[in-house]
Structure 1
């Protein structure tokens, strides 16, 4: 057993689980846990900002991930999409970066704010008139057209001050790669991979981004995000289907109903000043975690980060939303017609981690859809040949609040939707009546851990997952606790969870069908 441990180092992973289970040998998992803890150090600044540092000496590089506890779950329907738009805007520079001369640029920015608000107001009035069946007067149209032209000229005059992607250029000159970001329902993340001796350059740029952000090009970027939504949602059947599915599956007060990218009806009118207020409210050091993983010195790294981020001002703590799973609200069904591949989503409401039932759903996820041996994959794709693919998502769409266990099926073109539904339900019923064997459970636990370890084969992946656990649960070690809970799952737990949650009263079904073909008359 000991030679296996050598090949399992989280700091140069080469995994083989053919001999025995990590879960089965407590000493191996304990040594693995100890190795992680010895190479990781955390500290918290007086302003609440938390930092996680992990030493990995396999290459002279570091991955730096900054996460903020802000996502679509922190929005209201009226400002849906703000967190994602703000992520875009924070790449537009600061008072010091992205501009040829901020003092000369400033008057233009002020005028853009004033005139942009007026233009939005007129456009909203126009939409309201049309919604009432009223035709805007020629005077109104003329006023709107003049304002649009003046605003376009103002934006063009402002462009002479813009230096696009200056931060990315600085990083590239210093060996940085992978400078990027993402927004989810739960968090907003910023990331980069750098040579180890370039941490201070990162700290200077990123602290400036938080202290002196300038949301330049706001109105043009808002249009970019609106087009992104059209491409990702309106033009893709699965995008529409998933949005309708979330809306049906969650109660009205649940924040996960809203899409990260926002709604088409309000994206084009997101207010600049409200977006600035959103930034001040949620980009708070108390809601922030920095993870640095790679070849580093703990003391030197801490000194640099305290120097640049220690003076960030903390705001008023925001209460964390707690949405219980609650009672089952009855079966729900939504249907979408779109010229895309026919698809189906079947989901069940469930609690989030660290509820122990979440670990059981991870077992069920792998049992049903992991690889060719997954029960649903085997039945729907291989045996019945009724689907092209099937996968499960435990924790759909996030982990901060109660969420969903979702089953996504891409059907074959002429598949019977009802048959697909019945076959899925048969497998779920089987979980209630036929206990999973100990051998099958043993294999699944190994699969999950092996897959996880293989996924942590570079600095970036480690920084991403560790910073997420530190942010959401207050301690990255909750990740290890989660795997201990997974190891404790029994065949009886799988049966119990299946009986409790896989019931019609807790089921949401969303299906996508292509438009019906019109019958064309035969030629005479």
Structure 2
């Protein structure tokens, strides 16, 4: 398809492709008219409504199946945490599946008595455990009374949890969705956002509205202490048992000495066992506010009926005060930072440079540099490290590591060939970077890369779920879903000179962080 479109108008290509992907019929207008025509066509299929409390509702009509994909997203992630409460956003994601006063319980009035005691005894047990750990870390003896009191309380607390369990109806919300034809009921937390999703028959949308509004109005942090242990075990599996997990955590901590992007989404091993239930509730009240919330509904949707339904169930959720931003800026000027991690898996290397957040004009240039270096088997780093020098098994770039709300990293991740010299890998990467600084990319190569980026992106949008995800993400992180258009308009305008300028500007030794994964003997194998 790309070969049939005018090479002089890259943006025309993406707009036509996106238009066809949503089944819009559009005649070919003159180049100067195509942008406005396609944008108008898309905007007629997407309706944005802002509720009185600040919730943003995005509805997109898309024929083909009597279903809707619903994504409820919050501008809340690990970047909104402090080190003391690291992991709270992710833990809350788990907790909001535990039900409300109406869901997940046989009798809330009776359960409430146990919940109150669990909260008191759980906090007291945390205090004992924390005292014991601090003494051990200091090398001081632990008093016998502290050990005895802790052991007695642990036994009582375990019995209390077992008594409470008789009131719990596990996964009742999932059961209700299943009974009503729902699929893909899930959630995820990142550094920037937290998302909840479901795919439903369109005539069951009110089921979603009832369940999800109830989840926001009356969440009960049911099984908080047992779920906290589940998250701790999840961390062990994803981070401590994987060399890549440890490397990325240490690497981000080195790259972000000041900013919250240096903290892992899942939290630290040191603080996860002591995340306080009261502080977790406080985090929910402050962050899960309507002004931080966007709902995307894509599929067989009637705009008027859906808007009325969402207003009925969500508009009476009170909005709180907007907290002051807590993040500090990370430095773009520092000595090269290096970390090395020993683990039986590997070996790997990661290199990164700090870059500005969107909507900075250099962002689309960085996206293109990413693609030039790592787009499939034609990427320069792949051809150099994998095909020619046989130093790597895989290589990839990541623009926007680990998030996009704040200044972030342009990162290069390499899976080394065992026995390969990591210094040669680093030198090869730096040489390819230098070539972009000194030699202009050809117009032909740049056009090819632009088309590849758009093709890959649009192919990923060929589902209601992906569209709902993207619409809500742009609405929250970029400030408006229509920034999708501006993103690709800016991409189209990038020139070979821009590639040279931006590479020279950011890819400096005084803006570099390097991480190596080595074996247990220390050899960077």
Q: TM-score, structure 2 length as denominator?
A: 0.94
**Alignment map for 1:385-464 (pairs within 5 Å):** 385-464=390-469
Q: Give the Cα separation in 2 of the matches to 1:448 and 1:190.
A: 27
Which whole-Å CA distance do the structure 1 matches of 2:454 and 2:509 have between them?
32
Q: Deviations over 1:379-409 (max 9, x none)?
A: 1011111101000000101010000000000
What's the counterpart of residue 193 of structure 1?
A: 199
Residue aligning to 2:231: 225
CA–CA distance in structure 1, aligned partners of residues 300 and 327 of structure 2: 38
What secondary structure, in the 3-state scheme, does the structure 2 residue paired with 1:52 have? Answer: strand
1:442 and 1:135 mapped to 2: Cα distance?
68
Matched, 1:298 2:307: no
Report the CA distance shift for 1:488/1:324 in structure 2 as closer, same or farther (over 3 A). Answer: farther
| Partner SS for 2:17 | coil
Structure 2 residue 291 is matched with structure 1 residue 286: yes
Aligned residue runs from structure 1 range 263-278, under 5 A:
263-278=268-283
Contact 2:298 2:468 in 1 (8 A): yes
CA distance in 2, matches of 1:9, 1:386: 39
Paired position in structure 1 for 2:17: 8
Mean Cα deviation higher: 326-335 or 392-401? 326-335
Instruction: After TM superposition, give the deviation of residue 137 of structure 1 in Å.
Output: 2.6
Q: Is the 8 A contact 2:337 2:514 kept in 1?
A: yes
Q: Is the 8 A contact 1:52 1:467 kept in 2?
A: yes
Deviations 1:101-128 (A, max 9, x none): 0001000000000000010000001001
1:375 is the counterpart of 2:384: no
Tell me, in whole angstroms, the C-alpha distance in 2 between the residues paired with 1:279 and 1:227.
Answer: 23
Equivalent of 2:512, from 507, 510, 515?
A: 507
Cα deviation, residue 13, structure 1 = 6.4
SS at match of 2:220: coil
CA RMSD of aligned residues (A): 1.9
> Normalising to structure 1: TM-score of the pair?
0.94
- Residues 236 and 26 of structure 1, relative CA distance in 2, 3 Å threshold: farther
With over 3 angstroms needed to count, the CA separation of the structure-2 counterparts of 1:285 and 1:7, relative to structure 1, is closer
- Tell me the SS of whatever aligns to 1:268: helix
Q: 1:517: how far off? A: 8.3
Which residue in the other structure is 1:111 paired with? 117
Distance 2:172 2:333 in 1: 51
After TM superposition, give the deviation of residue 59 of structure 1 in Å. Answer: 1.0
Hey, what's the Cα distance between the residues in 1 that align with 2:206 and 2:69?
13
Q: 2:10 is matched with which residue?
A: none
Q: Are 1:211 and 2:220 matched, yes or no?
A: no
Structure 2 residue aligned with 1:339? 344
CA distance in 2, matches of 1:31, 1:322: 41
1:18 equivalent in structure 2: none
Does 1:74 pair with 2:83? Answer: no
Give deviations 1:241-265, integer Å, cap 9, x for gaps: 111111111232x110111000000
SS at match of 2:377: coil
- Partner SS state of residue 8, structure 1: helix
Aligned residue in 2 for 1:123: 129
CA distance in 2, matches of 1:32, 1:478: 14
Match of 2:248 in 1: 242
Aligned to 2:489: 484
2:46 — aligned with what? Answer: 40
Give 1:330 shift: 1.9
Residue 274 of structure 2 aligns to a residue whose secondary structure is: coil
